[in-house]
Amino acid sequence: MDIGIDLGTTTVEIYMSGKGIVLKEPSVVAVNTKTDEILAVGEEAYRMLGRTPSYINAIRPLKDGVISDHEMTEFMIKDFLKKVCGSLMIKPRVSICVPSAITDVESRAVTQAAVSAGARKVYLLEEPIAAAIGAGIDISQPNGQMVVDIGGGTTDVAVISLSGVVVSRSLRVAGNHFEEEIIRYLLNTYKVLIGERMAEKIKIEIGCVFNPDKNVTAEIKGRHQLKGLPQRVTVSQAELYEPLKNQAMKIVEVIKSVLDVTPPELGGDIYTNGIVLTGGGSLIQGLPALIESETRVKVRIADDPMDCVAIGTGKSFDYLDNLQQGFSDMVTYSHD
């Protein structure tokens, strides 16, 4: 039994060989702080965000693409694996995608969580490689391909050729940071405090980083920080443009830095092939046009961008012999 896990900051997806994506749930755990009892995991816990009494804490155990709470992550992985595998009589091989700049300590934390959850063998696969496989790119060819994976907590930019990563950069700015900018802007401008669910809704509805339309607006509900009362304000796309573009430009600068150190032959391939965007963060309006205008390289969003990494992680077992550089130094961990 082979399982691929996209352990994302905002969402966990599990791909099972022969079945495709079998689970997609928010990476949230709800805990009773009085008794340390875990009350809910995934979708049920996500619905509690911002709506719990003081003794119930709905937390995200992953931050910026890495584990910030090992115990909660382990429980979450166990719960999700139990949902898709039942009693785990046969211990699966598990491939987990990780940011390309992950440290040894973070790698061990991810691996230990999977082993404790019941994995027989754990492979760590770099996110850009997983994204490229999931996007249908033939990474085995001597042909340069640039993949930009914009998740919830991290953005990974990589140039791939001959099944390996030639140049890569990882930036801890991604989809969640757009939401943080929206929250900060509304607090500073209108003194209205909103939660992350409302910020995500606004980002999807009117978030834009290129050629905004001042006639596009959204209604925001929150709490006035000074009055302490519920407040409703209408915000235009043009208002949010500058703070969101500032975040998007950080991603653009990383892409430029990778292009700057890419070998000339591969750079020519990228100019021909274009840049492929994956991940939920790539869906913010205007991002492909912004990157294209700044780099002069054509940009496209992969088919099914939100599931690319999970699909690629699950399918990576088909390429085990060829992915010696795609896996983190071919580091594998056995647990029999």
Instruction: Note the pLDDT tens digit of each residue in 140-187.
Output: 889 999 999 998 888 999 999 988 889 999 898 898 899 999 999 999
Tell me which H or E stretch contains 298.
none
Alpha helices in 191-236 (DSSP H): 196-206
Q: Can you give the pTM of this predicted structure?
A: 0.86
Q: What is the pLDDT of residue 334?
A: 43
Higher pLDDT, 19 or 118: 19
Lowest mean pLDDT among 49-58, 131-140, 235-244: 49-58
Q: What is the pLDDT of residue 336?
A: 40
User: Mean pLDDT, the chain, as a whole number?
Assistant: 88
Q: Which two tokens stand for residue 218?
A: 């959204």
Distance, CA of 322 to chain centre: 25
Q: How many whole angstroms separate alpha carbon 232 and alpha carbon 219? A: 7
Q: What is the pLDDT of residue 332?
A: 45
288-324 per-position pLDDT tens digit: 999 999 999 999 999 999 999 999 999 988 877 666 5
Alpha helices in the chain (DSSP H): 43-46, 70-85, 104-116, 127-134, 175-190, 196-206, 237-261, 264-273, 287-295, 308-315
Nearest Cα residue to 232 out of 241, 221, 240, 224 = 221
Q: What is the pLDDT of residue 87?
A: 62
Lowest mean pLDDT among 91-100, 170-179, 241-250: 91-100
Q: How many whole angstroms separate alpha carbon 187 and alpha carbon 230? A: 14
Q: How many whole angstroms separate alpha carbon 205 and alpha carbon 186? A: 16
Q: How many whole angstroms separate alpha carbon 128 and alpha carbon 285? A: 22
Q: What is the pLDDT of residue 319?
A: 78
Q: Which two tokens stand for residue 255?
A: 């892409």
Q: What is the pLDDT of residue 121?
A: 87
8-63 per-position pLDDT tens digit: 888 999 999 889 999 999 999 999 988 989 999 999 998 887 788 888 888 888 88
